[in-house]
A and B are shown apart, each in its own frame.
Chain A
């Protein structure tokens, strides 16, 4: 394969992996606090719709972005209210959030289908983008991709190197001990859930303002779910998440590559690839249950009520 095609594939993989990376980062923070939010797909869809609507009506991409984040956080707040205050089953509540988000975004966005906005444009960073191979790969993207690079760094630092990160992990490992130490478990979990919502909203906005600048019902096509597997794949580590997201990016565009090489397979069969890849990856990483058990936050998906132990 010639270098140029290889480079193009990698660039496309980064673009395709970015929404996965963003939503998975949010979910990772959320899960570190012991909360399993399966509503990523719904929050992402709301972010995509709100972001597109904001940009379309105001003409400002920045406002669209802001609206997307607010939409994601509002959705996350509903999840928090149910799962943290009312102690509902987190799995079922997350599913409800996805069903609700898919419905609400389709309902509110029905008149936006077919509209267009001018999405985020790539900004080549001077000098750095001139580096052969590496330059076009990492330094010629739109602002959201750069933002995602930065967020990976920030998240890694916060989770692993700060007191806040320690608190977060303590709550996720053993909320009752954390509570005994005076940490406000519900408050920490709320923050984690809201951060997760903000990231999902951002990921949605990337879909509707950068990746394909438009709005379509269910346009995230399961990326929220793939991101959930990605967190497991990364065994709850920020660094692995980035690698995983771009690997999934490659899997998602593999059909373009194959068509490029001259394979003539039905586009519908090729479209299955990312989902098949997700299952394959899950099989590989899950085959050692002990490792996964050790990596996952101990209290993941378990409700916390200080009154019942």
Chain B
């Protein structure tokens, strides 16, 4: 019989292996799904995982998809490390895009990079302020952060829709809900000849590495980690919970807001209603897949970006609905959480006969039966 037993110490090995196992299990389940749809799993995996990496155009698009995921997930990881449940990256991203677009639309062709910088900063600050709302409510009224950040995601979405249908709509756009195309001066420089990937991917990686260094090499980072794993201990040590909560929430908001403005001034080049295919929610999975470690998150974001890219390709090549991305994300997150069981528990083999024969089972064995 297979039995589970709590480990005395959580397993370091398993904490790194569990995302790998989760990815393998997700692939197994998807194989079954592909077979049921009469699609050869080998073909499907080629389209989903290899094709996004196949040529420079696809690689560029992969970076386009990875950038917002990496930015949002880095911010969320800081929050989750501190045990602060911020689910609001999606709304912060949308508001960042909206406010950034307002600034971008004020630019002319000769505005210069100064105005681009202002636009980017405005987007980041907008995301930060959007994150400040639930933080303030949490501090003042003890509202549940999960629920307020989610409500603000919906409010942010409708705010964006209002902007793109109303004040920011292109007057020459025949009533289509989109803004005018931004002036070249406020577009982020691209990093490749063909393709839309902009320097924002480089910035995103720098921000992630920076966060990693802060988290693991500085005193505030240490305080944040202590606060997250053992709040009473952090209080006892005199760490200010106010400071920690505000700093992680505002950082996360700024990063998500930047992700939004980098989308509209980067690959999209104007404000449209479909800024995000749920990047802010997928970033939650990316943060977990990367073990809440900014260095791991860089890989996780590229993996999730591949999934988004792959599902675009699968739609074209295999006629699969794009909804499959969300499905994969859900399955992956389930397996990630399930595999974390292995960090704190070990699975042991125990012959059933011995347990059944022993007249007086030990205390641990009796209790195992109830689990």
Q: Residues of A with Cβ closer than 8 Å to B?
A: 38, 42, 78, 82, 85-89, 91-93, 95-97, 99-104, 106-107, 110, 179, 184, 186, 217, 221-222, 225-226, 228-229, 232, 266, 268-269, 271-272, 275-276, 278-279, 282-283, 286-287, 289, 292, 305-308
User: Which of B48-56, B123-131, B135-143, B202-210 forms contacts with chain A?
Assistant: B135-143
Expressed in whole angstroms, the Cα–Cα distance for A96 and B166 within the complex equals 35
Contact assessment for A100 and B334 in the assembled complex, using a CB-CB cutoff below 8 Å? yes
Which of B151, B154, B337 lies at the interface centre, i.e. has the most chain A CB atoms within 10 A of its CB?
B151
B315 vs chain A, min Cβ distance (A) = 11
One digit per residue, 1 when the CB lies within 8 angstroms of any chain A CB and 0 when it does not, for chain B 250-280 equals: 0000000000000000000000000000000
Contact assessment for B85 and A91 in the assembled complex, using a CB-CB cutoff below 8 Å? yes
Contacts of A89 in B (CB 8 A): 337
* Given the contacts A110-B321, A232-B144, A186 and B370 also touching, CB distance less than 8 Å: yes
Contacts of B327 in A (CB 8 A): 100, 103-104, 106-107
* Given the contacts A88-B337, A275-B151, A305-B371, A107 and B159 also touching, CB distance less than 8 Å: no
B76 vs chain A, min Cβ distance (A) = 11
Expressed in whole angstroms, the Cα–Cα distance for A292 and B166 within the complex equals 41
The 5 closest A-B pairs by CB, nearest first: A100-B330, A103-B326, A106-B323, A103-B327, A268-B162
Contact assessment for B147 and A107 in the assembled complex, using a CB-CB cutoff below 8 Å? no
Can you give 28 contacting A-B residue pairs, CB < 8 Å?
A: A78-B334, A87-B341, A92-B337, A96-B337, A97-B330, A100-B334, A103-B324, A104-B330, A106-B321, A107-B327, A186-B370, A225-B147, A225-B151, A229-B151, A266-B162, A268-B165, A268-B166, A269-B158, A272-B155, A272-B158, A275-B158, A278-B151, A279-B152, A286-B143, A286-B144, A289-B142, A292-B142, A307-B364
Contacts of A88 in B (CB 8 A): 337-338, 340-341
Tell yes or no: B31 within 8 A of A by CB: no
Expressed in whole angstroms, the Cα–Cα distance for A91 and B333 within the complex equals 12
Contact assessment for B144 and A99 in the assembled complex, using a CB-CB cutoff below 8 Å? no
* Given the contacts A96-B337, A279-B151, A91 and B321 also touching, CB distance less than 8 Å: no
Tell yes or no: B15 within 8 A of A by CB: no
Contact assessment for B341 and A279 in the assembled complex, using a CB-CB cutoff below 8 Å? no
Q: Residues of B with Cβ closer than 8 Å to A?
A: 5-6, 85, 87, 137, 140-144, 146-148, 150-152, 154-155, 158-159, 161-162, 165-166, 281, 284-285, 288, 321, 323-331, 333-334, 337-338, 340-341, 344-345, 364, 367-368, 370-371
A290 vs chain B, min Cβ distance (A) = 10
Identify B154's interface contact among A42, A186, A221, A229, CB under 8 A.
A221
Identify A222's interface contact among B154, B285, B331, CB under 8 A.
B154
Contacts of B151 in A (CB 8 A): 222, 225-226, 229, 275-276, 278-279
Expressed in whole angstroms, the Cα–Cα distance for A226 and B148 within the complex equals 10
Expressed in whole angstroms, the Cα–Cα distance for A196 and B330 within the complex equals 20
Known: A104-B330, A107-B323. 18 other contacts (CB 8 A): A87-B341, A88-B340, A95-B333, A103-B327, A104-B327, A106-B327, A222-B150, A229-B144, A229-B151, A266-B165, A268-B158, A268-B162, A279-B152, A282-B144, A283-B137, A286-B143, A307-B371, A308-B6
Contacts of B158 in A (CB 8 A): 268-269, 271-272, 275
Identify A282's interface contact among B147, B330, B333, B337, CB under 8 A.
B147
Contact assessment for A279 and B326 in the assembled complex, using a CB-CB cutoff below 8 Å? no
Expressed in whole angstroms, the Cα–Cα distance for A266 and B162 within the complex equals 7
Contacts of A292 in B (CB 8 A): 142
Contacts of B281 in A (CB 8 A): 99
Task: Determine the residue in chain A with the shortest Cβ distance to B331.
Answer: A100
Contact assessment for A307 and B321 in the assembled complex, using a CB-CB cutoff below 8 Å? no
